[in-house]
Chains A and B, each alone.
Chain A
Amino acid sequence: MTMKKVFSRPASLSKTPFHYCPGCDHGVIHRLVAEAIDELEVGDRTIGVAPVGCSVFAYDYFNFDFNQAAHGRAPAVATGIKRTRPDSIVFTYQGDGDLAAIGTAEIIHAANRGEKMTVIFVNNAIYGMTGGQMAPTTLIGMKTQTSPYGRDAATAGNPIKMSEMIATLESPVYVTRVTINSVANLMKAKKAIYNAFKLQKEGKGFSFVEVVAICPTNWGKKPADSHKWLTENMLPVFPLGTFKDTFGVEKSA
């Protein structure tokens, strides 16, 4: 990677300014996706599927074709696209409400069929777009609009660990959890996203990257405090690491 590349806008990223709240991780994660696609030189054959959530307008920020799916259904839509255009690079970009609540069936079965697609899962432990309700990934004791006394495991269950769940399936070829709370972790996240798309480019199978992320607005914290809170509270529950790497992409790279 040259110095120039770090500071220029990736070709796959459009000129539209992000509408995300200041400090939100969504914009950075978009950029990592765009960089991976540029580096793999597949921008002219990539098709994205946007979710329902804060990233519903993800299609505005990329320079390639997009479908905007119903809440949670992106993996099913992506299945239809990839099966129709198998030489395309197809990915979904989904939040935790989208992927781990309403769309649980769609993600599990797309993963289990081994659809040759990539999923970028942004876990911010909350429903960002609708104003901060409890998500399946909300931490125990965490106060949200719909868990005003803190999430109670006795009635609301425990945070769902999607990466661990998906890694129990035979078909997925790459399942990893990253975060972008530091420069070192950002570089790891970049590499993971690159690996996930690389595996798809090689036709290897289903790849899944969970990014543990912040939602300063609905957490009621400043961006810097949010990353600190994420490090101290989210990472113990959602440990970073690679849960499945069938082809050893991390070692070979």
Chain B
Amino acid sequence: MFEGPVQRLIDELGRLPGIGQKTAQRLAFHLVTVDDADARRLGQAVLDMRDQVGFCSRCFNVAAAEECAICRDPRRDTSIVCVVERPQDIVVVERTQEFRGRYHVLGGALSPIHGVGPGQLHIDELKQRIPDEGITEIIAATNPTVEGDTTAMYLAREFKPAGVKVTRLASGLPVGGDLDYADELTLGRALVGRSEL
């Protein structure tokens, strides 16, 4: 519809989550008119991120080094690990300032419809971490959805026999949504009031 490179940018922006056709157009035309330096800085930031950021070898959080900043932080309690579906869920839990342990990112939730079973999630890696780090409690902070619930139950059945306490966030979270629908206060309360599965 527009000049080749502009349309290409609109198409790429439009593929981002939460960005529709109209927003993509607005952003693209904004970038056409801003200072050259500003546009280049954005491009460079994307490239740098791709070059320098990978996944933490321990917890699968995003990391600019072999391990993420949280895993490298010596003040973190290594006996308790908060299990989430996606790296962005870590940010949500961190904002509550109620949690001082480490994380583990599963990379999704059980969903046979999408061909996701335990083998497709980072569950074996979590199993490894338990003796290595002396983990005694797993908080299953998967989304309050059918798939998230089921994944939490799976973790309980998998890890309780090994003597690990598996807890789930207390209710009060908006059901059926993502973790990031919850405001900090609600999520903070849910963390404190978690119950054993």
Co-assembled chains A and B: no
